[in-house]
Amino acid sequence: MSKIIAQQAANEKQDVTSMLHTLDEAAQHELIAYLSQFLQPRRRTLIPEVLDQRTRYLTVVLENVYQPHNASAVLRSCECFGVQDVHIIEKEYSFRPNTEIVMGASKWLTLHQYREIEGQTTQTCLNALKAKGYRLVATTLHADSIPLHELPLDQPVALCFGTEKRGLSQEAHDLADLFVKIPMSGFTQSFNISVTAALFLYDLTNRLRTSPYPWQLTAAEKQALALSWYVKAVTKGEAITQQFLQKKGLLPST
């Protein structure tokens, strides 16, 4: 019985989450205003400030990263530097974030998962990003790699990071538009993935924010993301949102 109840709760949560994407602008605004009464004033002030620094111009791709602490540290860096979307390709290894390291950062991000077992490959992910206009950048010690500071930002960038042992797959290399590295001054060839990602994100987000390129979210993207964050930030936010949507006739009553 407990399993059935848990499954029903999960289904209801999924229904609420999927419904948020279908609301028009007026309904989103009304729901945000309703949820705001349950939110601490500091959080209400912080959300628009964070949204102003959020970007989808830069995104991160993690291919088959198998060490939970590394994947979690990358997610935390993405959130701290304002990178909203992370694309996770699961091949041999499932994505398992470490809650002690990620420190809740992942709930503020938009995670896109591609599972090879379900037929969603590296090619699926990278071709989709390329179709959206992203330049695919492989972080690798390739013979043709350029230093990080030379990476152009004249079009959106998808930073691709591979496994700790082998790096990116041949498939990712074949689809990449550019190869980029961080020049080393010591005997060791590279940093680990979490440090590398943090250095890339620090450099690129700093450059983006002083550039003429359209790196910020649109007004519509900000509102949709704000709504998602309000639901997550409010205690029992899904249940409160479900009740609101049911009263408005936008979600069937249970």
**Model confidence over 22-58: pLDDT tens digits?**
899 999 999 999 999 999 999 999 999 999 999 999 9
Domains of the chain by residue range: 2-50+218-247, 58-209
Which of 13-22, 32-41, 102-111, 173-182 is the least confident region? 13-22
Tokens 């991000």 map to which residue?
A: 109
**Band of residue 140 on the pLDDT scale cut at 50, 70, 90:** very high
Q: Each residue of 232-244: pLDDT tens digit?
A: 999 999 999 999 9
- Pick among 3.40.50.620, 3.40.1280.10, 3.40.50.720, 3.40.50.11740: CATH of 58-209: 3.40.1280.10
107, 82 contact by CB (below 8 A): no
- With a cut of 90, say whether residue 252 has pLDDT above it: no
Report pLDDT for 100.
Answer: 65
In this prediction the pTM is 0.89
Q: Give the pair of three-digit tokens for residue 34.
A: 């309703």
The residue type at 229 = W
Q: Give the pair of three-digit tokens for residue 229.
A: 């964050």
CA-wise closest residue to 36 among 201, 237, 215: 237
Residue 157: φ, ψ to 5°: -120, 130
**Band of residue 143 on the pLDDT scale cut at 50, 70, 90:** confident
Tokens 């990620």 map to which residue?
A: 102
Q: How far is CA 126 from CA 87, 134, 155, 198, in A?
A: 9, 9, 15, 21
Percentage of the chain modeled with pLDDT above 90: 69
Say which residue, 210 or 69, is predicted with more confidence. 210
DSSP code at position 250: S
